Structure 1
Amino acid sequence: MQPTIAFIGTGNMAGAILEGLIATGYPAAQLWATRRQKEKLATFQALGVNTTADNEQAIAAADIVVISVKPQMMQQTLKALAPALQSRKPLLISVAAGISCDSLERWAGGDIPVIRAMPNTPSLLKLGACGLFATETVTELQREQAQAITDAVGISVWCEQEQGIDQVTAVSGSGPAYFFLMMEKMIDAGIALGMSPENARELTLQTALGAAEMAKQTGIEPAQLRKNVTSPGGTTEQAILSFERDELGRVVETAMLACMNRAAEMSEILGADE
């Protein structure tokens, strides 16, 4: 039998994962969804999911608890739920940014298996990328179960060290915003060149989609794909040379380092006991 999974705090991300599980054939009767406003759980009720505003009720039935509350609320929430978690001892999966496994386990009462997950917003379209890190008490079966949960909305990779979650944050967690910024600037530049806003937007978005699919489906490294469309003395070469003169690589690396460092800082700040 599939493990029973309780989603504590079923907002956009947790809701997407839950729906992704159902789409893969996961039995709705083995899923629980909680939210303070029970009327917002109607969508999941219609899918056959168990719903409640009582977090303890969901945890009492769960083998796996996916906790998806705002990072600032995590300490308060877990401490309130610690008796229920200690009674059940489920696998605890957190999708909140910036909270270490040590803090999660401590607030949950200790001696409980914990996995940190760092999904990204394309998970809402089942095109997500997620990083995972497990504590030593997590079994191999629990690792497989956790990956099946996050794979329901995209792909997942494992980090050997917990610091790897901060690296995942810099690459894929925050990564969609980098591409959105590039699209935004390309649209603006297209308009500045005299293109209509509609055409600039449509061509930019389709080009981004096509480039990502080409890299994904062909398996050819992005560097080689770039070379393939950069003819010596041609138009693309002039744009690439301009990017290189402005040290685009350094700009990207500096930005991602700032992102990773902030993730580590948040972990220290949010992980302090009140």
Structure 2
Amino acid sequence: MTTPRIAFIGAGNMAASLIGGLRAQGVEAGAIRASDHGAEQRAKITAEHGIETFAANAEAVAGAEVIVLAVKPQVMKDVCLDLAAHLGEGQLIVSVAAGITSASLEGWLGPRAIVRCMPNTPALLRQGVSGLYANARVSATQRQQAEQLLGAVGLALWLDEERLIDAVTAVSGSGPAYFFLLIEAMTAAGEKLGLPRETAAQLTQYTALGAAQMAVASDVDAAELRRRVTSPAGTTEAAIKTFQAGGFEALVEQALNAAARRSAELAEQLGQ
């Protein structure tokens, strides 16, 4: 597939990671452009990736086939209303902003081919995972373009229903923070057990990394992997039983439900 001309509206961390991923895949700098209100950020993106940048959004989107909306959700409405008059026919709109529905985007931009995405912060290391939803106006070619874009920073998974974006937000969008919390708690507990803090932190971090890599590479699910390392009456079983006695599984379910509800609430608030 021929690489489309891509314009990024907003050149913050997520846009920079996507641009870096595309460039690492061999996409030419001339096929990518970006706009940002900050002169310092524009200079940084140009220096790092060799792409052309603009202060005006209208200049960035001229001639682009794919337009990536990568601004903060709170300013998305104003950005879209200003941008609407400068869009052409057949352009694909890709939004990576949390809480902005495709219906809201169409309300501000007019009827458009829109792909809504929920990436997560490991995309900054090209280890991210994104949920993608395409509205009915998105063609097969445009779906490939969106998948290539998000695939540049990790795994891209398609959703059949837009409402599932809230679930993706709860599981993977917010998910890195849950693991950071566990790492934080395990590090503190290891320190209380007598380990130097740096040692406890490294033991925890590399254990998390290794466990995740095993889960991804394995042909069995996480429950089976857990059983394989949990010897009867052993140390792991003692810890697992303590987690379960404290209602670990139910607490995780409650936490993800809370995140999904908040995602839906934000979508309603930001889409007005």
TM-score by length of 1: 0.96
Q: 1:96-175, aligned counterparts within 5 Å?
A: 96-108=97-109, 110-175=110-175
C-alpha distance in structure 1 between counterparts of 2:81 and 2:45, whole Å? 27
Q: 1:77 is matched with which residue: 79, 87, 112?
A: 79
Whichever residue aligns with residue 64 of structure 1, its letter is V
C-alpha distance in structure 2 between counterparts of 1:40 and 1:170, whole Å? 30
Q: 1:1-274, aligned counterparts within 5 Å?
A: 1-46=2-47, 47-85=49-87, 87-108=88-109, 110-272=110-272
Shift of 1:89: 4.2
Listed as ranges, the gaps of 5+ residues in structure 2 are none
C-alpha distance in structure 2 between counterparts of 1:22 and 1:219, whole Å? 32
Whichever residue aligns with residue 6 of structure 1, its letter is A
Deviations 1:201-225 (A, max 9, x none): 0100010011011111223211111
Name the SS of the counterpart of 1:262 in structure 2: helix
Deviations 1:234-272 (A, max 9, x none): 110000011111110000000000000000011111111
CA contact (8 A) 2:12 2:41 kept: no
C-alpha distance in structure 1 between counterparts of 2:38 and 2:169, whole Å? 30
Give the superposed CA RMSD: 1.0
Whichever residue aligns with residue 99 of structure 1, its letter is I
Whichever residue aligns with residue 68 of structure 1, its letter is A
CA contact (8 A) 1:59 1:88 kept: no
C-alpha distance in structure 1 between counterparts of 2:58 and 2:141, whole Å? 25
Q: Identity over aligned residues, as a percent?
A: 47
CA contact (8 A) 2:215 2:225 kept: yes
C-alpha distance in structure 2 between counterparts of 1:23 and 1:212, whole Å? 24
**Deviating runs (4+, > 4 A) in structure 1?**
none
Whichever residue aligns with residue 15 of structure 2, its letter is A
Shift of 1:39: 3.1
Name the SS of the counterpart of 1:32 in structure 2: strand
Name the SS of the counterpart of 1:180 in structure 2: helix
* Greater alpha carbon shift after TM alignment, 52-61 vs 140-149: 52-61
Deviations 1:167-205 (A, max 9, x none): 100110000000000000000111111111011101000
Name the SS of the counterpart of 1:263 in structure 2: helix
Listed as ranges, the gaps of 5+ residues in structure 1 are none
Deviations 1:53-107 (A, max 9, x none): 111011112100001111110001100111012x344110111100110001110
C-alpha distance in structure 1 between counterparts of 2:38 and 2:261, whole Å? 35
Whichever residue aligns with residue 105 of structure 2, its letter is L
Name the SS of the counterpart of 1:239 in structure 2: helix
Name the SS of the counterpart of 1:170 in structure 2: helix
Shift of 1:43: 3.5
CA contact (8 A) 1:120 1:174 kept: yes
Name the SS of the counterpart of 2:115 in structure 1: strand
* Greater alpha carbon shift after TM alignment, 117-126 vs 189-198: 189-198
* Greater alpha carbon shift after TM alignment, 211-220 vs 173-182: 211-220
